Structure 1
């Protein structure tokens, strides 16, 4: 997933390693049809200098919200949709209400 944004607001968070602070400005999202309904969730943070996320980051260990949690991951050939929004994972991180268009992807 490639993403190119201009000037979105940043927010400082503690890195998951607990050893440093980082600045983030976006969250990628995935939407999938699971158990008869469309659901979606964020799966990573993006920094102002990060414009790409690999398919290995799209799984339940990164989304962390049911029904997209645990061992969930898209299956090859499955239709999913992706987008990127300004920081949205926690209410205290919402500074800007922006997002990209939602894009259809046939999972590799």
Structure 2
């Protein structure tokens, strides 16, 4: 009975072995998406995906899910526009830089 394992016996190690963390830095998804769009002046989800995969060395296993989530959030918040299967930045209308004489003055009478 020398080979009997005592299940009540405590393990010799007091602490479990540490999992080595990967030393990497991941940019926020909205920033990576905007960089991909700026690099090509608007692009499809596939092009954004390829750009991120070529510029980032380590991506999480849920990368595609995170990309989908952030693209949808950015589209719904107005940060991105989705036209003909392409994501682009919204067009900013320039403010008129003319004379302000056309602005009506509001006065109150007492």
- Normalised by the length of structure 2, the TM-score is 0.24
Tell me the TM-score normalized by structure 1.
0.24
Instruction: Specify which structure has the higher proportion of strand.
Output: 1
